[in-house]
Structure 1
Amino acid sequence: MNYLPNAFDPPVWYLVMPICGAEEEVFTRKRLADIVAAKLNNDQRHALITVEDYTFLPMSIHLMVRENALTLDLWWQPFMDAILRDIARLQTGNTLSWCNYTSERIIDAAAFEHRAYELLFLPVWKGLATDPQGYAYNSVNNKAGIDL
């Protein structure tokens, strides 16, 4: 794939956000996936970030986002706090928290393609699907309804 010069300005980030304290799947339950999608779509409508690609696993969110009006350090923590607050309201009896979340700046086309491939095949590698196209909560099928 050919990218235009400066295709990674503003920066693109690969984010992994695992959740701890849940006793059952979180992000592949429609009601909870809808919470994440609504927040991402709202942030996109307000031009804070752009979602390039995503996969929701039962216990983690994997995103590639492009900075827009906000840098990652200004957007990410409030995003995670809002998601955790909204999900915690629906999860009774569990103390939820984010654990071991990571970010990686995507600096070129090779890194972008590597992470896009990873996002596509994560559900297969985790045994959640036999084919990436058969997994609902990714950019391919977009059951979460994220504006891509």
Structure 2
Amino acid sequence: MNYLPGAFDVPLWYIVMHLKGASGILTQKRYCDVLAHRLNQDQANRLISVDDYLLLPDTLHLMVQEEALKFDVWWPAFRDQLLEELKELYLAGLKAGGASESADSLVWEPVSYELITSPEAFEHRVNEMLFLPVRKGLASDPEYYPYNSVNNKAGIDLQ
């Protein structure tokens, strides 16, 4: 790929967040809607922009670019608020089903992030996100996996 000079002047981050405690919820519509709402709201407020994403049943992969907020300011608030919203929705589902469990077992673990500083690093991460559903046996072709930037079933605004 050819990139314009200065293409990586605005910090671009690759984030991987594993959700423990509620198997498979990230690809369920009501939880996707929470995530999409949070990201789309942050983009509407020009805090960050989302370049690419991948939702696996228990893992969120994001490629976000800083806008009004630096990553170290935006990231902790986003991570914590998203977890609280997911816990609230999960707990409501448990109560509706008659369970008396708690949502305290939901945690982001492990979490990693990386500053993308070169075209090679960008291409590596984008390809990883594209082909991961195939490697995990969730799709036979990356273009058929619904919860990625290509198909955008989650409804996340892409920049």
Question: What range describes the TM-score normalised by the shorter chain of this pair?
Answer: over 0.9
- Looking at structure 2, the residues matched to 140 and 101 of structure 1 have their Cα atoms a distance apart, in angstroms, of 24
AA matched with 2:17: M
AA matched with 1:30: K
SS in 1 for 2:27: coil
| TM-score normalised over the length of structure 2 | 0.90
Q: 1:111 aligns to what? A: 121
> Mean Cα displacement is larger for which, 45-54 or 2-11?
2-11
AA matched with 1:106: I
Pairwise CA distance, 1:21: 1.4
The question of 1:51 aligning with 2:34 is answered no
The question of 1:70 aligning with 2:69 is answered yes
Pairwise CA distance, 1:7: 0.7
| TM-score normalised over the length of structure 1 | 0.96
Q: Report how many residues are paired.
A: 147
SS in 1 for 2:148: coil
Q: 2:84 aligns to what? A: 85
Q: 1:135 aligns to what? A: 145
SS in 1 for 2:63: strand
- Looking at structure 1, the residues matched to 50 and 107 of structure 2 have their Cα atoms a distance apart, in angstroms, of 23
AA matched with 2:3: Y
Pairwise CA distance, 1:2: 1.2
AA matched with 1:51: V
> Mean Cα displacement is larger for which, 92-101 or 75-84?
92-101
SS in 1 for 2:151: coil
- Looking at structure 1, the residues matched to 24 and 110 of structure 2 have their Cα atoms a distance apart, in angstroms, of 18
Larger CA Rg, structure 1 vs 2: 2
Name stretches of at least 5 consecutive residues in structure 2 with no aligned partner: 92-100
Q: 2:30 aligns to what? A: 31
- Two-structure CA RMSD over aligned residues (Å): 0.9
1:86-114: CA deviations, max 9, x gaps?
A: 11012133321111100011111111111
1:64-87: CA deviations, max 9, x gaps?
A: 010111111101111011111111
Pairwise CA distance, 1:60: 1.0
Q: Identity over the aligned pairs, expressed in percent?
A: 54
